[in-house]
Structure 1
Amino acid sequence: MTILLVFAGGMVGAPARYLIDRFVQRRHDSVFPWGTLSVNLFGSFVLGALAGAQPPGVVMTLAGTGFCGALTTFSTFGFETVRLLEDGSLRAAALNAFGGLALGVLSALAGYGLAVHLI
């Protein structure tokens, strides 16, 4: 049952990641990966909110592991940072690496805090 929940959440999270990434990136004429940053921050917020809300295990497996796991992407984040370095965009690479990590943690904290406050 657990694997099916992860699979179902991933079936929604993976296409959502692609569509949100393309939607955001199309609106920016820069080498900076705004789309990946957006999905990672959104996913961090949602996962933080889920952790704060402490839903039943089934919901956490479906939405947390499945959906958020497929929505967010550390591999693309790493690849895009390396690509920025290779292109000589050192400032953008540093902003992506350190900003993405810091903002991701803050997004998760904000989601957690909001859920704890509301529940």
Structure 2
Amino acid sequence: MTVLLVFAGGAIGAPARYLLDRYVQRHRRGVFPWGTLTVNVLGSLVLGLLLGASAGAGLPDQVVLLVGTGVCGALTTFSTFGFETVRLLEEGATMEAGLNAVASLVLGVLAAFAGHLLGGLL
């Protein structure tokens, strides 16, 4: 049952990641990977909300597996973040690479923290 829940969540999160990334990138100019930053921060926020709500309201483990591990796991992408940061460095866009690294870390952690606080209020 656990694997099926994670699989089902991944089947939602992976296409959502692709579609949201493409949508954001289509509406932005330049080399900065706005799409990847967006899905990673959004996934951090959702996971924080879920775990905050789980701690406060005691959500069933199945919900955490489906949404947290499955959806958020497939929605967010550390490997693409790493690749895009290296690509920016290779292209000589060092400021954008640094901004991507710092923004991803800071915004991701802040989003997870804010989500956890908000989720705890539910």
TM-score by length of 2: 0.95
Cα deviation, 1:29-75, whole Å, max 9, x if unaligned, reads 11000000000000000000001001210000000000000000000
Give every structure 1 segment of 4 or more consecutive aligned residues whose post-TM-superposition deviation is greater than 3 Å: none
Cα deviation, 1:82-110, whole Å, max 9, x if unaligned, reads 00000000000000011111110000001
CA RMSD, Structure 1 to Structure 2 (Å) = 0.5
Partner of 1:92: 96
Task: Output aligned runs, 1:18-33, within 5 Å.
Answer: 18-33=18-33
For structure 1, the 5+ residue unaligned runs are: none
Partner of 1:101: 105
Once the two structures are TM-superposed, the CA of residue 78 in structure 1 deviates from its matched residue by: 0.3
Code of the aligned partner of 1:85? L
Partner of 2:48: 48
Is 1:70 the equivalent of 2:74? yes
Q: Percent identity between the aligned chains?
A: 65
